[in-house]
């Protein structure tokens, strides 16, 4: 096991009417002027935004609003938010939505107190120090941003999708998680969220670090639970307990508990980021395509952990590591299919992927080598894109 | 799944030389005068205390010391610490030891700023509000107090062993966990710690709350990992990775992550507290005796979850719930025996337990009914003590 330092100070308020506690949490934190960040029409149509706005007003908090955040969020909205927040003099942010909304709010929280360009944090030119505090009302369980210190933003100029990782600076002060708010999510978005959280666990699971049995077992347990609950939410969108299990899994998948003391991988995410930057596909659906392809490639070359995954998560009984690994990948693809996800670029609607461009962008953005479980150069990532066609 | 509010702000600094970071953590927190709380000779003999003292001094922090905390810690030491801390004017505490030391430090942290008797918090007369901050250097993985907001103290007058539970008030600001510091733990203490952490998980696992698959799987995964790593630490006390897995399990077993969204049980702990209060046995060893007896009693009356435990933790394949439950309990007792723990009061050295007194004290301290998975009255707890003879 590797050394680690781990701190998750976010307060999780989970359950029925959790969103109703946001105003009190803002008030108790001493926030006076809050910028609500949100996405499209669903938060308006459902009445959620109205309720949040009113409850903040009732506690005497001034509200400024930034709507219209889109999936695969882009830098233009961040610049808008920074300008708006500075002008209005907000002292905190409340993200009402999923990962894109939260990641945008985090970028604004970091950028608003920074003299330079917020993008400096994402391309590694500068380190986050002072940020505005942030709260979350989660409506899409997927990205896990409600419990993480990370944020992913796409730069429109050049289509670079980059992530910023902080220790605790950008972890939300609180996250309100009401599974009922996810009842109306379209099936494809529900399924994509499930793939996203599963791959967040798998990026940490696939490691060469030895002696990490506890964290292996946590990862496997979470994956088994997600695989058991996923068919229930697909069949019965208003099954509270199934929605609750999926929602809580999404947070635990990415708040860091699955990665303590081990080198992580993240190749699948890096590869998928190019796919969604170039073709604007749903991130989780992109992962359902890329991750099994990545597993096939690494499973042929380094089967041990893929075989452990197959045996412990999918109860594969095959003794040979290579065969067990391949069977595990087959079952993973079958599972993704069963909840309505694509497992090839073709199924994702990309008939003729520009693999040369994807590989070029990938290594331009992430360097000549990516991945912790197996180090991948351009020739490897090209093969993986081809396996995913 | 039940509603919950969950926050674990403790920073875990884990790995080689983790204890060397304590002084920096105290300094960064702005602490000027720290009371080091410790136990017996081992922290002195090993040189750990000298190193901690020196590193605090090097960063300009004034040190006051309170040694001599004993297992099953008692109120007299807490009163000493409160008086000493007030006189010296300490502004923070650093516990160097295991659960008894940490629990004593927590009681002092709560009592020192309170005008009344600190015992008010433990017997429910008053609620903790203002506390001194607390750091931990852990030397015994068992009680999980390094990550919890709880503390257990025994009142000498009347032998009442009571627990205080707080949300975040008494959670340590940081906990330094170096598995190497546990190399020299005697085998019996290592094994007792393992039983303690397993039962911390099981007290949360056994619930009637439905729809908690994620947390069930986390509990089962942690238990499986502990059962895999325990024989290694017993056979090779200096196996770093095995010690690391056991140490991290002990923290996760009790920081609350295993109990989110579910009613907990705690009958085994309440029952065992009477045993250690009356016969001063090692808490974890007492649990190895009491918990399987409790499981036998509840497994006969409500076998479902005990059967799930048997199947998922011990891979029992029996289809009948009652039979599966009994087989799981047999395997748990076999496991405790295999690491050198007693599974009966006789093996624990209590030949003629005063069961009438134990039952009387138990319900005097904890009320007429205890337990969440199965509600137990005096006739039930008497039967459990008899099953544990």
- CB-based contacts of A153: which residues, under 8 Å, 6+ apart? A73, A74, A75, A78, A103, A104, A107, A119, A122, A161, A162, A164
Q: Which of A2, A5, A141 to mutate to test the interface with B (most CBs of B within 10 A)?
A: A5
Mean pLDDT of B249-261: 98
- The answer to whether the Cβ–Cβ distance between B15 and A3 falls below 8 Å is yes
Top CATH class of A186-387 equals mainly alpha
In contact, A262 and A202? CB cutoff 8 Å? no
| Separation in Å, CA of B240 to nearest CA in chain A | 8
> Nearest Cβ partner of A213 from B7, B215, B225?
B225
Size of interface A-B (CB pairs under 8 A): 136
- The answer to whether the Cβ–Cβ distance between A3 and B9 falls below 8 Å is no
C-alpha–C-alpha distance, residues B14 and B5, integer Å: 26
Residue A158 has a pLDDT of: 75
A7 chain-B contacts, CB cut-off 8 A: 9-12
**B315-341: pLDDT as tens digits:** 999 999 999 999 999 999 999 999 999
- The answer to whether the Cβ–Cβ distance between B3 and A16 falls below 8 Å is yes
> Nearest Cβ partner of A218 from B218, B228, B229?
B218
**Computed over its alpha carbons, how large is the radius of gyration of chain B?**
20
Q: Which of B3, B144, B214, B231 to mutate to test the interface with A (most CBs of A within 10 A)?
A: B214
Q: Is domain B11-181 in CATH 3.40.640.10, yes or no? A: no
ipTM over 0.90: yes
- The answer to whether the Cβ–Cβ distance between A5 and B16 falls below 8 Å is no
DSSP symbol at A97? E
In contact, B310 and B327? CB cutoff 8 Å? yes
Percent of chain B beyond pLDDT 90?
95
- The answer to whether the Cβ–Cβ distance between A225 and B248 falls below 8 Å is no
Assign a CATH topology to domain B185-387: Dehydroquinate synthase-like, alpha domain (1.20.1090)
C-alpha–C-alpha distance, residues B133 and B173, integer Å: 7
Query: In chain A, whose CA is at the least distance from the CA of B11?
Result: A7
DSSP symbol at B163? E
Query: In chain B, whose CA is at the least distance from the CA of A13?
Result: B5
Residue A41 has a pLDDT of: 80
| Separation in Å, CA of A6 to nearest CA in chain B | 5
Residue A117 has a pLDDT of: 97
Q: Point out the residues of chain A with pLDDT beneath 50.
A: none
What ranges make up the beta strands (E) of chain A?
4-14, 33-38, 62-66, 92-97, 134-138, 150-155, 160-165, 174-177
> Nearest Cβ partner of B245 from A1, A224, A228?
A1
Query: In chain B, whose CA is at the least distance from the CA of A226?
Result: B214
- Delimit the domains of chain A by residue range: 11-181, 186-387
In contact, B108 and B35? CB cutoff 8 Å? yes
Residue A157 has a pLDDT of: 86
- The answer to whether the Cβ–Cβ distance between A15 and B9 falls below 8 Å is no
**B260-274: pLDDT as tens digits:** 999 999 999 999 999
DSSP string, A303-334: -HHHHHHHHHHS----SSHHHHHHHHHHHHHH
CA distances (Å), B156 to each of A159, A225, B69, B74, B75, in order? 69, 46, 14, 6, 7
- The answer to whether the Cβ–Cβ distance between A212 and B245 falls below 8 Å is yes
- The answer to whether the Cβ–Cβ distance between B12 and A6 falls below 8 Å is yes
**B57-115: pLDDT as tens digits:** 999 999 999 999 999 899 999 999 999 999 999 999 999 999 999 999 999 999 999 99
Query: In chain A, whose CA is at the least distance from the CA of B176?
Result: A5
- The answer to whether the Cβ–Cβ distance between B8 and A8 falls below 8 Å is yes
A→B contacts (Cβ < 8 Å), by residue, are 1-16, 18, 210-218, 220-222, 224-226, 228-229, 240-242, 244-245, 248-249, 252, 257, 260-261
Q: Which of A233, A245, A254, A256 to mutate to test the interface with B (most CBs of B within 10 A)?
A: A245
- The answer to whether the Cβ–Cβ distance between B214 and A222 falls below 8 Å is yes
Residue B157 has a pLDDT of: 86
SS (H, E, C) B145-171: CCCCCEEEEEECCCCEEEEEECCCCCC
């Amino acid at each position: 096991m590797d050394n680690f330092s781990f701190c998750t100070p976010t307060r999780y308020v989970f359950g029925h009417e959790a969103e109703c506690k946001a105003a009190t949490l803002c008030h108790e934190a001493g926030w006076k002027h809050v910028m609500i960040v949100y996405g499209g029409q669903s938060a308006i149509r459902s009445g959620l935004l109205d309720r949040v706005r009113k409850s903040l007003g009732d506690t005497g908090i001034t509200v400024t609003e930034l709507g219209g955040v889109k999936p695969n969020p882009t830098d233009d909205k961040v610049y808008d938010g920074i300008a708006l927040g500075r002008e209005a003099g907000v002292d905190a942010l409340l993200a009402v939505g999923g990962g894109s909304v939260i990641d945008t709010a985090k970028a604004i929280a970091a950028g608003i107190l920074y003299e330079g360009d917020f993008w400096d944090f994402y391309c590694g030119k500068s380190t986050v120090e002072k940020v505005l505090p942030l709260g979350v009302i989660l409506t899409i369980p997927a990205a896990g941003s409600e419990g993480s210190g990370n944020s992913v933003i796409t730069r429109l100029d050049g289509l670079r999708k980059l992530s910023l990782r902080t220790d605790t600076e950008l972890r939300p002060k609180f996250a309100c998680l009401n599974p009922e708010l996810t009842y109306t999510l379209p099936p494809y978005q529900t399924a994509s969220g499930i793939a996203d959280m599963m791959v967040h666990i798998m990026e940490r699971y696939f490691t060469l670090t030895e002696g990490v049995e506890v964290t292996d077992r946590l990862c496997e347990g979470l994956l088994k639970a997600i695989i058991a609950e996923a068919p229930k939410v697909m069949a019965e969108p208003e099954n509270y307990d199934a929605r609750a299990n999926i929602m809580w899994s999404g947070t635990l998948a990415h708040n860091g508990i699955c990665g303590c003391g081990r080198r992580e991988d993240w190749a699948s995410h890096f590869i998928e980021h190019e796919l969604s930057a170039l073709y604007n596909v749903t991130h989780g659906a992109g992962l359902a395509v890329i991750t099994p392809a990545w597993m096939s490639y690494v499973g042929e070359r380094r089967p041990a952990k893929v075989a452990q995954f197959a045996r412990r998560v999918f109860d594969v009984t095959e003794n040979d590591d290579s065969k067990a690994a391949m069977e595990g990948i087959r079952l993973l693809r079958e599972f993704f299919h069963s909840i309505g996800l694509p497992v090839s670029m073709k199924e994702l609607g990309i008939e003729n992927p520009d693999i040369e461009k994807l590989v070029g962008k990938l290594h331009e953005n992430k360097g000549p080598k990516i991945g912790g479980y197996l180090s991948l150069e351009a020739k490897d990532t090209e093969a993986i894109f081809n396996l995913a066609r």
